[in-house]
Structure 1
Amino acid sequence: MKLNKAKILGFFKKSESKATIILNDKTKASNTIKDALGKAVTNKGDLEGIWAKLVLLFAVAKDYVNGDYTEIPKRSIIAILGGLIYFLSPVDVIPDFVPFLGFIDDIYILNLVYRQVIKDLEKYKAWKDAQIKFIGNADGSTAT
Protein backbone atom coordinates (compact mmCIF):
# COMPACT_ATOMS: atom_id res chain seq x y z
CA MET A 1 0.00 0.00 0.00
CA LYS A 2 1.40 3.38 -1.03
CA LEU A 3 0.81 6.26 1.36
CA ASN A 4 -0.49 9.55 -0.02
CA LYS A 5 2.15 11.59 1.78
CA ALA A 6 0.84 14.94 0.53
CA LYS A 7 -2.61 14.20 1.90
CA ILE A 8 -1.19 12.96 5.21
CA LEU A 9 0.98 16.09 5.54
CA GLY A 10 -2.07 18.26 4.77
CA PHE A 11 -3.98 16.62 7.64
CA PHE A 12 -0.91 17.03 9.85
CA LYS A 13 -0.69 20.78 9.08
CA LYS A 14 -4.30 21.10 10.28
CA SER A 15 -3.33 19.21 13.45
CA GLU A 16 -0.45 21.64 14.01
CA SER A 17 -2.87 24.57 13.65
CA LYS A 18 -5.11 22.99 16.30
CA ALA A 19 -2.03 22.45 18.48
CA THR A 20 -1.18 26.15 18.31
CA ILE A 21 -4.64 26.99 19.64
CA ILE A 22 -4.75 24.20 22.23
CA LEU A 23 -1.36 25.22 23.67
CA ASN A 24 -2.97 28.46 24.86
CA ASP A 25 -5.28 26.46 27.14
CA LYS A 26 -3.30 24.37 29.64
CA THR A 27 -6.35 22.22 30.52
CA LYS A 28 -7.15 21.41 26.88
CA ALA A 29 -3.49 20.66 26.18
CA SER A 30 -3.25 18.36 29.21
CA ASN A 31 -6.48 16.59 28.26
CA THR A 32 -5.29 16.13 24.68
CA ILE A 33 -2.04 14.54 25.89
CA LYS A 34 -3.93 12.35 28.38
CA ASP A 35 -6.44 11.22 25.73
CA ALA A 36 -3.68 10.45 23.21
CA LEU A 37 -1.76 8.50 25.87
CA GLY A 38 -4.89 6.48 26.66
CA LYS A 39 -5.34 5.66 22.97
CA ALA A 40 -1.66 4.72 22.69
CA VAL A 41 -1.81 2.39 25.70
CA THR A 42 -4.99 0.76 24.35
CA ASN A 43 -3.28 0.18 20.98
CA LYS A 44 0.25 -0.53 22.24
CA GLY A 45 0.54 -3.72 20.19
CA ASP A 46 -0.02 -1.80 16.94
CA LEU A 47 2.50 0.82 18.03
CA GLU A 48 5.25 -1.48 19.30
CA GLY A 49 7.77 -0.33 16.69
CA ILE A 50 7.57 3.30 17.81
CA TRP A 51 6.62 2.83 21.47
CA ALA A 52 9.85 4.24 22.95
CA LYS A 53 9.67 7.30 20.70
CA LEU A 54 6.03 7.80 21.57
CA VAL A 55 6.71 7.61 25.32
CA LEU A 56 9.37 10.32 24.93
CA LEU A 57 7.01 12.54 22.91
CA PHE A 58 4.33 12.17 25.60
CA ALA A 59 6.81 12.92 28.38
CA VAL A 60 8.18 16.13 26.87
CA ALA A 61 4.69 17.34 25.95
CA LYS A 62 3.43 16.69 29.49
CA ASP A 63 6.45 18.33 31.13
CA TYR A 64 6.12 21.35 28.82
CA VAL A 65 2.41 21.84 29.47
CA ASN A 66 2.93 21.42 33.23
CA GLY A 67 5.66 24.07 33.09
CA ASP A 68 8.35 21.69 34.31
CA TYR A 69 10.38 21.85 31.09
CA THR A 70 10.24 24.91 28.86
CA GLU A 71 13.64 24.71 27.17
CA ILE A 72 12.14 23.43 23.93
CA PRO A 73 11.37 25.73 20.99
CA LYS A 74 7.67 26.47 20.59
CA ARG A 75 7.72 25.17 16.99
CA SER A 76 8.94 21.80 18.30
CA ILE A 77 6.25 21.52 20.97
CA ILE A 78 3.64 22.50 18.36
CA ALA A 79 4.92 19.74 16.06
CA ILE A 80 4.80 17.22 18.93
CA LEU A 81 1.31 18.23 20.04
CA GLY A 82 0.23 18.32 16.39
CA GLY A 83 1.46 14.75 15.99
CA LEU A 84 -0.47 13.68 19.08
CA ILE A 85 -3.62 15.42 17.80
CA TYR A 86 -3.21 13.66 14.44
CA PHE A 87 -2.77 10.35 16.27
CA LEU A 88 -5.82 11.04 18.41
CA SER A 89 -8.07 11.68 15.42
CA PRO A 90 -9.88 8.43 14.51
CA VAL A 91 -10.69 9.72 11.02
CA ASP A 92 -7.55 10.82 9.26
CA VAL A 93 -6.06 9.68 5.95
CA ILE A 94 -6.38 6.00 6.94
CA PRO A 95 -9.12 5.64 9.58
CA ASP A 96 -7.82 3.90 12.70
CA PHE A 97 -10.57 1.29 12.64
CA VAL A 98 -9.23 -0.24 9.38
CA PRO A 99 -7.66 -3.57 10.47
CA PHE A 100 -3.85 -3.79 10.17
CA LEU A 101 -3.60 -0.49 8.28
CA GLY A 102 -5.32 2.05 10.51
CA PHE A 103 -2.21 3.26 12.28
CA ILE A 104 0.18 3.38 9.29
CA ASP A 105 -0.38 7.08 8.67
CA ASP A 106 -0.23 7.84 12.40
CA ILE A 107 3.10 6.01 12.70
CA TYR A 108 4.38 7.88 9.64
CA ILE A 109 3.50 11.25 11.22
CA LEU A 110 4.83 10.34 14.67
CA ASN A 111 8.14 9.19 13.14
CA LEU A 112 8.27 12.40 11.08
CA VAL A 113 7.71 14.53 14.19
CA TYR A 114 10.30 12.53 16.12
CA ARG A 115 12.91 13.11 13.39
CA GLN A 116 12.03 16.83 13.25
CA VAL A 117 12.58 17.36 16.96
CA ILE A 118 15.25 14.75 17.76
CA LYS A 119 17.86 17.32 18.89
CA ASP A 120 15.31 18.88 21.24
CA LEU A 121 14.36 15.43 22.54
CA GLU A 122 18.02 14.62 23.24
CA LYS A 123 18.31 17.81 25.32
CA TYR A 124 15.07 16.95 27.10
CA LYS A 125 16.26 13.42 27.84
CA ALA A 126 19.52 14.76 29.33
CA TRP A 127 17.48 17.18 31.47
CA LYS A 128 15.10 14.41 32.55
CA ASP A 129 18.01 12.09 33.44
CA ALA A 130 19.57 14.88 35.52
CA GLN A 131 16.24 15.41 37.31
CA ILE A 132 16.05 11.72 38.19
CA LYS A 133 19.64 11.75 39.51
CA PHE A 134 18.95 14.93 41.50
CA ILE A 135 15.80 13.47 43.05
CA GLY A 136 17.65 10.24 43.81
CA ASN A 137 20.41 12.17 45.58
CA ALA A 138 17.97 14.45 47.38
CA ASP A 139 16.19 11.53 49.05
CA GLY A 140 19.45 10.06 50.33
CA SER A 141 19.76 7.26 47.79
CA THR A 142 22.75 6.95 45.55
CA ALA A 143 22.35 7.56 41.87
CA THR A 144 24.65 5.82 39.46
Structure 2
Amino acid sequence: MKTPPGFDRYLALAGKFLSRGRLPALLLAVARKSARMKLVRSDLNLLQELLVAWVRGQYRGLNSTAVLSVAAALLYFLTPVDAIPDWILAFGLLDDLAVLAWVVRRWQSELDAFKVWRDNQSAEVRASLKTLPLPEKVERT
Protein backbone atom coordinates (compact mmCIF):
# COMPACT_ATOMS: atom_id res chain seq x y z
CA MET A 1 0.00 0.00 0.00
CA LYS A 2 1.50 3.29 -1.09
CA THR A 3 1.65 6.20 1.37
CA PRO A 4 -0.51 9.16 0.28
CA PRO A 5 1.45 12.05 -1.25
CA GLY A 6 2.56 14.62 1.33
CA PHE A 7 1.63 12.37 4.26
CA ASP A 8 5.24 12.35 5.54
CA ARG A 9 4.88 16.02 6.40
CA TYR A 10 1.89 15.19 8.60
CA LEU A 11 3.76 12.34 10.27
CA ALA A 12 6.41 14.83 11.38
CA LEU A 13 3.74 17.26 12.56
CA ALA A 14 1.96 14.46 14.45
CA GLY A 15 5.24 13.60 16.19
CA LYS A 16 5.43 17.19 17.44
CA PHE A 17 1.81 17.09 18.64
CA LEU A 18 2.43 13.86 20.52
CA SER A 19 5.69 14.99 22.09
CA ARG A 20 4.19 18.28 23.24
CA GLY A 21 1.06 16.71 24.73
CA ARG A 22 -1.20 18.44 22.21
CA LEU A 23 -3.18 15.34 21.23
CA PRO A 24 -6.27 16.33 23.30
CA ALA A 25 -6.51 19.64 21.40
CA LEU A 26 -6.30 17.74 18.12
CA LEU A 27 -9.07 15.38 19.22
CA LEU A 28 -11.38 18.26 20.16
CA ALA A 29 -10.83 19.94 16.79
CA VAL A 30 -11.52 16.69 14.94
CA ALA A 31 -14.71 16.19 16.95
CA ARG A 32 -15.94 19.64 15.90
CA LYS A 33 -15.24 19.04 12.21
CA SER A 34 -16.41 15.41 12.13
CA ALA A 35 -19.84 16.34 13.51
CA ARG A 36 -20.64 17.58 10.00
CA MET A 37 -19.26 14.50 8.21
CA LYS A 38 -21.77 11.65 8.38
CA LEU A 39 -19.96 9.62 5.72
CA VAL A 40 -16.83 8.95 7.79
CA ARG A 41 -18.12 9.57 11.30
CA SER A 42 -17.75 5.93 12.41
CA ASP A 43 -14.11 5.73 11.27
CA LEU A 44 -13.33 9.10 12.87
CA ASN A 45 -15.01 8.03 16.11
CA LEU A 46 -12.98 4.81 16.15
CA LEU A 47 -9.70 6.68 15.57
CA GLN A 48 -10.60 9.20 18.27
CA GLU A 49 -11.53 6.50 20.78
CA LEU A 50 -8.26 4.74 20.05
CA LEU A 51 -6.23 7.88 20.73
CA VAL A 52 -8.29 8.76 23.83
CA ALA A 53 -7.54 5.31 25.27
CA TRP A 54 -3.89 5.71 24.34
CA VAL A 55 -3.58 9.22 25.85
CA ARG A 56 -5.14 8.03 29.10
CA GLY A 57 -2.88 4.98 29.23
CA GLN A 58 -5.83 2.61 29.11
CA TYR A 59 -4.77 0.91 25.89
CA ARG A 60 -1.13 0.34 25.02
CA GLY A 61 -1.49 -2.59 22.62
CA LEU A 62 -0.71 -0.24 19.78
CA ASN A 63 2.32 0.06 17.56
CA SER A 64 3.92 3.50 18.05
CA THR A 65 3.98 4.00 14.28
CA ALA A 66 0.24 3.37 14.21
CA VAL A 67 -0.32 6.07 16.86
CA LEU A 68 1.72 8.48 14.79
CA SER A 69 -0.12 7.56 11.57
CA VAL A 70 -3.55 7.97 13.17
CA ALA A 71 -2.61 11.37 14.61
CA ALA A 72 -1.15 12.42 11.23
CA ALA A 73 -4.34 11.38 9.42
CA LEU A 74 -6.43 13.44 11.85
CA LEU A 75 -4.14 16.43 11.32
CA TYR A 76 -4.48 16.00 7.55
CA PHE A 77 -8.25 15.84 7.98
CA LEU A 78 -8.21 19.12 9.92
CA THR A 79 -5.89 21.04 7.65
CA PRO A 80 -7.97 23.09 5.20
CA VAL A 81 -5.13 23.54 2.72
CA ASP A 82 -3.64 20.17 1.79
CA ALA A 83 -3.35 18.29 -1.52
CA ILE A 84 -6.84 19.50 -2.50
CA PRO A 85 -7.95 22.54 -0.45
CA ASP A 86 -11.15 21.88 1.50
CA TRP A 87 -12.86 24.97 0.13
CA ILE A 88 -12.97 23.52 -3.41
CA LEU A 89 -16.58 22.38 -3.62
CA ALA A 90 -17.24 18.67 -4.12
CA PHE A 91 -13.53 17.81 -4.26
CA GLY A 92 -11.98 19.50 -1.24
CA LEU A 93 -12.64 16.69 1.19
CA LEU A 94 -11.87 13.81 -1.18
CA ASP A 95 -8.17 13.77 -0.33
CA ASP A 96 -9.01 13.92 3.40
CA LEU A 97 -11.31 10.92 3.02
CA ALA A 98 -8.68 9.08 0.98
CA VAL A 99 -6.04 9.60 3.68
CA LEU A 100 -8.43 8.46 6.41
CA ALA A 101 -9.35 5.38 4.36
CA TRP A 102 -5.67 4.63 3.76
CA VAL A 103 -4.86 4.79 7.49
CA VAL A 104 -7.84 2.60 8.37
CA ARG A 105 -6.79 0.02 5.76
CA ARG A 106 -3.09 0.23 6.63
CA TRP A 107 -3.66 -0.29 10.36
CA GLN A 108 -6.75 -2.52 10.11
CA SER A 109 -5.29 -5.27 12.32
CA GLU A 110 -4.38 -2.71 15.02
CA LEU A 111 -7.87 -1.20 14.82
CA ASP A 112 -9.50 -4.64 15.00
CA ALA A 113 -7.44 -5.48 18.11
CA PHE A 114 -8.51 -2.19 19.68
CA LYS A 115 -12.19 -2.92 18.89
CA VAL A 116 -11.88 -6.30 20.63
CA TRP A 117 -10.28 -4.62 23.65
CA ARG A 118 -12.90 -1.83 23.68
CA ASP A 119 -15.82 -4.22 23.35
CA ASN A 120 -14.55 -6.25 26.33
CA GLN A 121 -14.44 -3.20 28.61
CA SER A 122 -17.12 -2.15 31.05
CA ALA A 123 -19.87 0.21 29.94
CA GLU A 124 -18.18 2.96 31.98
CA VAL A 125 -14.86 2.57 30.17
CA ARG A 126 -16.57 2.46 26.76
CA ALA A 127 -18.51 5.63 27.63
CA SER A 128 -15.34 7.34 28.86
CA LEU A 129 -13.70 6.76 25.46
CA LYS A 130 -16.32 9.03 23.93
CA THR A 131 -15.39 11.83 26.36
CA LEU A 132 -12.47 13.73 24.95
CA PRO A 133 -9.65 14.76 27.26
CA LEU A 134 -9.31 18.46 27.88
CA PRO A 135 -6.28 20.12 26.33
CA GLU A 136 -3.64 21.12 28.83
CA LYS A 137 -2.49 24.69 28.91
CA VAL A 138 1.09 24.86 27.76
CA GLU A 139 3.19 27.37 29.65
CA ARG A 140 5.67 29.21 27.47
CA THR A 141 8.99 30.23 28.91
Scaled by the length of structure 1, what TM-score is found?
Answer: 0.79
Q: Which amino acid aligns with 2:101?
A: N
Is contact 1:15-1:83 (8 Å) kept?
yes
1:9-88 residue pairs with structure 2 within 5 A?
A: 9-26=4-21, 28-41=22-35, 43-45=36-38, 48=39, 50-88=40-78
Asked if 2 retains the 8 angstrom alpha-carbon contact of 1:19 and 1:78, the reply is yes
- CA–CA separation in structure 1 for the residues paired with 2:70 and 2:29: 14
Cα deviation, 1:86-131, whole Å, max 9, x if unaligned, reads: 0010100111111111100000000000011110111100111111
Q: How many residues align?
A: 125
Residue segments in structure 1 that go unaligned for 5+ positions in a row? 1-5, 137-144
Return the structure number with greater helix share.
Answer: 1
Q: Secondary structure at 1:115's aligned position in 2?
A: helix
Give 3-state SS (helix, strand or coil) of 1:37's partner. Answer: helix
Gaps of 5+ in 2: 127-141
What is the percentage of aligned positions where both structures have the same residue?
25
Q: Which has the higher contact order (CA 8 A, sep 6+)?
A: 2
Pairwise mapping of residues 82-121 of structure 1 onto structure 2 (< 5 A)? 82-121=72-111
1:58-105 per-position Cα deviation (integer Å, ceiling 9, x unaligned): 110121122221110100010000000000101001111111111000
The whole-number CA distance in structure 1 between the counterparts of 2:20 and 2:114 is: 22
What TM-score comes out, normalization by structure 2 length?
0.80
Alpha-carbon RMSD across the aligned residues, in angstroms, is 2.1
Q: Give 1 or 2 for the bigger CA radius of gyration.
A: 1
Secondary structure of 2:122's counterpart equals helix
Structure 2 residue identity aligned to 1:30: P
The residue type paired with residue 55 of structure 1 is N
Alpha-carbon separation, structure 2, partners of 1:58 and 1:105: 19
